[in-house]
């Protein structure tokens, strides 16, 4: 048994917890075809729940695509800063899972694709360093980039770690802009890689992770739930 009925109703409808309790006591909620009158009854996510004529569909896990703005930190709680989880929660019209966390990290000043979830298994699989999940970034530098940089990114750089960086794929867009795809996630990795080439990152935005593309219709600071296809896709990885 996964969740209390009153919590289920308040999590997956517009009702508050006390309104959910009242709806249950008033006999408006049916579980597997039977009227349920106990707010504290336990149910699992496979049970069928109806409120009036409407099915109340709940999901065990939530998966959110967030277009992270600069200025928020990739954490669940922080003493001083606004976290991505707080940011998304405060802008959500509906209840979000209590145990959401960001799947991976972006620096405070980095923008773009961040997935939030409460599916620990998926996060564990995708974040495992052994997996070498590709992450693609749009990068703006302080100066022009050239084909030597592309080659050096490919052959690996000494950023002060035990090993050289793994081959990174760089596509020059114009003078000082490029896409860079890396398969690791060391602290400040891209900034440190460009530092090695004597260049400074002045803008960084993640546009893709593990083949999942940032939805271009999401403005900075906006989010949406992943689609069924996107979730299924991530589960196949």
* Chain residues that interact with ligand URA, rule: CB under 6 A: 106-107, 110, 188-191, 204
Q: Which of 47, 78, 107, 215 is catalytic?
A: 107
**Closer CB to ligand URA, 36 or 212, in the complex:** 212
Say whether 11 is catalytic.
no
Q: Are 146 and 197 in contact (CB under 8 A)?
A: no
**What distance lies between CA 40 and its chain's CA centroid?**
31
**Closer CB to ligand URA, 88 or 190, in the complex:** 190
What would the two tokens of residue 169 be?
Answer: 């794929």
**Closer CB to ligand URA, 47 or 107, in the complex:** 107
User: What value, to the nearest 5°, has the Cα angle with vertex 227 and ends 222 and 229?
Assistant: 145
Please report how many Cα atoms fall inside a 13 Å half-sphere around the Cα of residue 32, on the Cβ side.
Answer: 8
Name the minimum Å distance from CB 202 to ligand URA: 12
Name the minimum Å distance from CB 137 to ligand URA: 6
Name the minimum Å distance from CB 110 to ligand URA: 3
DSSP element (H, E) containing 71 = none
> Among 162, 158, 107, 113, which Cα is nearest to 135's?
113
**Closer CB to ligand URA, 12 or 194, in the complex:** 194
Name the minimum Å distance from CB 119 to ligand URA: 22
3-state DSSP call for residue 12? helix
- Give the catalytic positions in this structure: 107
């Amino acid at each position: 048994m996964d969740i209390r009925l009153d919590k289920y109703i308040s999590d997956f409808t517009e009702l508050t917890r006390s309104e959910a309790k009242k709806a249950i006591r008033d006999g408006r909620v049916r579980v597997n075809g039977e009227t349920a009158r106990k707010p504290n009854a336990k149910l699992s996510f496979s049970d069928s729940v109806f409120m009036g004529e409407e099915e109340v569909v709940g999901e065990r896990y939530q998966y959110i695509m967030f277009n992270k703005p600069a200025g928020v930190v990739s954490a669940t709680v922080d003493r001083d800063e606004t976290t991505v989880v707080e940011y998304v929660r405060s802008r959500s019209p509906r209840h979000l899972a209590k145990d959401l966390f960001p799947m991976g990290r972006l620096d405070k000043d980095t923008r773009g694709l961040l997935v939030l979830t409460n599916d620990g298994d998926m996060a564990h699989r995708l974040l495992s360093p052994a997996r070498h999940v590709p992450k693609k970034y749009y990068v703006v530098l302080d100066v022009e980039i050239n084909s030597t940089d592309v080659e050096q990114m490919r052959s690996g750089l000494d950023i002060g770690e035990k090993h050289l960086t793994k081959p990174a794929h760089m596509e020059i867009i114009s003078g000082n802009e490029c896409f860079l795809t890396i398969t690791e996630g060391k602290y400040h990795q891209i900034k440190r890689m460009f530092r090695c080439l004597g260049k400074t990152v002045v803008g960084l935005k993640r546009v893709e992770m593990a083949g999942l593309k940032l939805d271009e219709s999401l403005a900075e600071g906006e989010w949406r739930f992943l689609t069924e296809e996107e979730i299924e896709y991530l589960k196949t990885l």
